[in-house]
Amino acid sequence: MATAPYLLAALSDISKNVSTWVAEVATLTTPDRIHWCEGSDADIAALRGELVARGELRELNQQTNPGCYLYRSDPTDVARVEHLTFVCTAAQDDAGANNNWMAPVEARARMRGLFQGCMRGRTLYVVPYCMGPLDSPYARCGVEITDSAYVVLNMAIMTRMGRAALERIAGDETFVRGLHSTGDLDPARRYIMHYPEELAIESFGSGYGGNALLGKKCHALRIASWQARTEGWLAEHMMIVGLESPAGETHYVAAAFPSACGKTNLAMLIPPDSMPGWKVYTIGDDIAWLHPGEDGRLWAINPESGYFGVAPGTSRKTNRNACEMIRRDTLYTNVAVTANNEPWWQGCDENAPATDWLGRLYDPANGPAAHPNSRFTVSAQHNPAYTAAVEDPRGVPISALIFGGRRRELAPLVYEARSWRHGVLVAASVASETTAAAEGAVGVVRRDPMAMKPFCGYDFGDYFQHWLRIGARLRRAPRIFHVNWFRQDAAGKFLWPGYGENLRVLAWILDRCAGRGGAHEGSIGLLPRPQDLQLAGLNLSDAVLRDLTEVPAAALRAELVGVRSYLDSLGPRVPSALYEELEAALQRL
Ligand code: OXD
Ligand code: MN
């Protein structure tokens, strides 16, 4: 990778392919100005200053929250819009029943109409970025063109953004082309289009993170999952965490949960007092790129460099590290503000809201003070559990893969899959109650295979097949587990304390990986017996423990039948191996 020749170059001279594309986009969108993002602190500070001066960004209390700002989005633009998100492959079958599809020619034509002249009076920002450590062979680059300075500020935190990324692009000239305009924010003219075959993204009409920060869901999951299948790796909706036992052994695990189901909290877990000597290191909180290594293990990098986390529910009790992490240098979106100009959200330990997320005087009659999907954007380096391993170009070796969802009933606290193939079925069967991270009703159970339902850039059948193929290549494959922190009793009370106490479950998982943890064969998979879990001090009754670790056969049968009809709904490419696993599971009942 070359660096020196570019040191003095204007950004627009570094890559011919990028500058040619920028010129084409400028002809179409007719901005007043073009700003190439250097990515330096001075560049970012100047941009922030402009937004504050225009009243689009609000400075929060700089004594208590230095470097913190608040952005209020358009009230109709607060979550990902899955029904307006399309995967535009030449053949519809390649996008699969799991995606909305539009023919590339049609999508391009529709978007061309929307982009025509859309940046008149605005600045076109060129945002070169790298997903993953700049010196990693697993990192991939992109360029986002946007007319939103708020998007630039977020991308500067969430990715390795600026000159260095552009230099890497100039070195190999492949990059994902992402074109974004907030347009007029009209929900009727809002589209998020993906062209995996062209490594391109077009997003119009939204400024919300998951729709507009194109490095995140659009590139690092939808386009990357496609690239990953072509190149033999996996792009997954997973957090990655390092766990060091009191004996000094460190293992890394990756876990996939649907949006707003606690990946960030688990990635930043604080060991409970009852487990002294454990240490936790966060590698990532949302996305993992997983590569089979030459040693037969699976290696993971986090393509992102920051967190775009859900604010409500974040407190010293639920996530002390996050509270410390977001005290400074944090960009808040749609939170409420206290009388002292400090950020506030539901579940905050301190103070009370004075203005709500829309900037109105807070009145409980208007609903929650902070939007349920309000967010913080912050650099991963501010996390007290940050580790330099994040920057290791080889990534970290993964001992266990964990899947889970938010299930009031049925799914036990934890179980282990019998094999990789069974694990792929378990992962493909993930279901969860919906949350505020996407538009639509909250609390409805929906299937969300690998927590990738909104993010897999191609047909789920092909995707499951790819998972099976990757497993076959791994001589030392991670074990696969399923967890559920959200079991409730009939009165709606959570059965498991969750948060830091989840380390007890992770400790059993690591014991299993080390070949020393006990388990018994249940019909769903391998389950811990009470003596296999560290439960001291939790005061769980035998009845609760039974509910947490047993699955009634009738309920499991109904679930498996539901999984079979879900797989049927995904079309003919679902691998027969998964149906065989399913039949075997039914036989075991
Ligand atoms: C996210 C999401 O923002 O999954 O991470 O919606
Ligand atoms: Mn996510």
Using a 6 Å cutoff on CB, does residue 286 contact ligand 1?
yes
Q: What is the pLDDT of residue 380?
A: 98
435 C-alpha to center of ligand 1: Å? 10
212 C-alpha to center of ligand 2: Å? 14
Nearest CA, atom 3, ligand 1: 210
113 C-alpha to center of ligand 2: Å? 30
Q: What is the spatial distance between Cα 383 and Cα 306, in angstroms, rounded to a whole number?
A: 9
Q: What is the pLDDT of residue 5?
A: 57
Using a 6 Å cutoff on CB, does residue 259 contact ligand 1?
yes
Q: What is the pTM of this model?
A: 0.96
Task: Return all residues near 167 (Cβ < 8 A) that are at least 6 apart.
Answer: 1, 2, 3, 6, 14
Architecture of the domain spanning 307-379: Beta Complex (2.170)
Burial class (CB in 10 A: 0-12, 13-18, 19+), 568: exposed
Q: Considering every ligand atom shown, identify the ligand nearest to the alpha carbon of residue 212 and give its number.
A: 1
183 C-alpha to center of ligand 2: Å? 25
Minimum-distance ligand 1 atom for the alpha carbon of 209: 3
Q: What share of the chain is helix, strand, coil (3-state, %, to 5)?
A: 35, 25, 45
The CATH number of domain 236-306+387-588 is 2.40.30.10: no
Tokens, residue 332: 């808040």
Ligand 1 mutation pick, 217, 237, 432, max ligand atoms within 8 A of CB: 217
Minimum-distance ligand 1 atom for the alpha carbon of 375: 3
Ligand 1 mutation pick, 154, 158, 259, max ligand atoms within 8 A of CB: 259
Minimum-distance ligand 1 atom for the alpha carbon of 258: 4
Ligand 1 mutation pick, 302, 308, 435, max ligand atoms within 8 A of CB: 308
pLDDT tens for the chain, 589 residues: list them: 444 556 678 999 999 999 999 999 999 999 999 999 999 999 999 999 999 999 999 999 999 999 999 999 999 999 999 999 999 999 999 999 999 999 999 999 999 999 999 999 999 999 999 999 999 999 999 999 999 999 999 999 999 999 999 999 998 878 999 999 999 999 999 999 999 999 999 999 999 999 999 999 999 999 999 999 999 999 999 999 999 999 999 999 999 999 888 899 999 999 999 999 999 999 999 999 999 999 999 999 999 999 999 999 999 988 999 999 999 999 999 999 999 999 999 999 788 999 999 999 999 999 999 999 999 999 999 999 999 999 999 999 999 999 999 998 889 999 999 999 999 999 999 999 887 877 888 778 899 999 999 999 999 999 999 999 999 999 999 999 999 999 999 899 999 999 999 999 999 999 999 999 999 999 999 999 999 999 999 999 999 999 999 899 999 999 999 999 999 999 999 999 999 999 999 999 8
Q: Is 88 a catalytic residue?
A: no
Q: Considering every ligand atom shown, identify the ligand nearest to the alpha carbon of residue 437 and give its number.
A: 1
Of 37, 141, 261, 348, the catalytic one is: 261
Using a 6 Å cutoff on CB, does residue 485 contact ligand 1?
no
Using a 6 Å cutoff on CB, does residue 308 contact ligand 1?
yes
Contact 204, 118 (CB under 8 A): yes
CATH superfamily of 4-56+84-231: Phosphoenolpyruvate Carboxykinase, domain 1 (3.40.449.10)
Q: What is the spatial distance between Cα 159 and Cα 156, in angstroms, rounded to a whole number?
A: 6
Nearest CA, atom 1, ligand 1: 259
Q: Where do the domains of the chain lie?
A: 4-56+84-231, 236-306+387-588, 307-379
Beta strands across the sheet bearing 331-333: 57-59, 69-71, 331-333, 375-379, 306-310
- H/E/C letters for each residue in 185-219? CCHHHCEEEEEHHHCEEEEECCCCHHHHCCHHHHH
Q: Kindly report the number of other CB atoms within 10 A of residue 305's CB atom.
A: 23
